[in-house]
Amino acid sequence: MPEIALQLDIAAPRAVVLAALTTHDGLTAWWTTAVDREDDVLLFDFPDVPEPFRLRVERADQDRVVWANAGAFPPHWAGTWISWDLAEQPGEPERTRLLFRHGGWQPGSEEGVPAVAGTWAELLVRLKDYAQSGKVQPYFVTARRHDAP
């Protein structure tokens, strides 16, 4: 099975990067302006997409955040998971090394992986910029707004 893996170094403390991945304000600052939460499931709305992406929070601590696809949409994401491993760079506590992985792709979904990888690369640049500068620049802007997670 294919897996998307991207690593980047962020000139921000791990707690800042973690907040960007686990809070409403963080997620809406770099990913999409429409984020909601139902218990342990995050719902991400996108323009021109008929229903939200549903991602169950499996783990969220200072070292790792893991989400599992909790819905049938989008179909090519069925059975996938997303992980974010956070580590301090050796000797530099104000810098974070982030290893992003999106895996669990089912046979037959391989043709969509390169496009998803490209989008994730763009999203990670925005995540990095937000963590380093605090500049809000969501990749997706939608009129639908939800309650904070």
For residue 52, give the CATH number of its domain.
3.30.530.20
Find the domain containing 99 and state its range.
4-133
Q: Yes or no: say if 140 and 35 are a contact pair by the CB < 8 Å rule.
A: no
For residue 52, give the H/E element and its range.
Answer: none
pLDDT in tens, 4-55: 999 999 999 999 999 999 999 999 999 999 999 999 999 999 888 888 999 9
In the 8-state DSSP scheme, what is residue 32? B
Question: Total domain count for the chain?
Answer: 1
- Number of Cβ within 10 Å of residue 34's Cβ equals 22
Q: How much is the pLDDT for 143?
A: 66
Residue 146 lies in a domain: no
At 74 the pLDDT is: 85
* Residue whose entry in the numeric block shows the structure tokens 């500068």: 133
In a domain, 39, yes or no: yes
Q: Is the peptide bond before 74 cis (omega within 30 degrees of 0)?
A: yes
Return the ∠ at Cα 147 (arms to 145 and 149), rounded to 5°. Answer: 120
Kindly report the backbone phi and psi dihedral angles of residue 35, in degrees, each rounded to the nearest multiple of 5, phi listed first.
-125, 135
Task: Give 60-117 pLDDT, tens digit per residue.
Answer: 999 999 999 998 888 888 899 999 999 998 788 799 999 999 999 988 877 778 889 9
Quote the pLDDT of residue 145.
Answer: 43
- Classify residue 44: in a domain, yes or no: yes
* Contact call for residues 70 and 58 (beta carbons, < 8 A): no
Flag whether 148 is in a domain: no
What is the rounded distance in angstroms from the CA atom of residue 149 to the CA atom of residue 147? Answer: 7
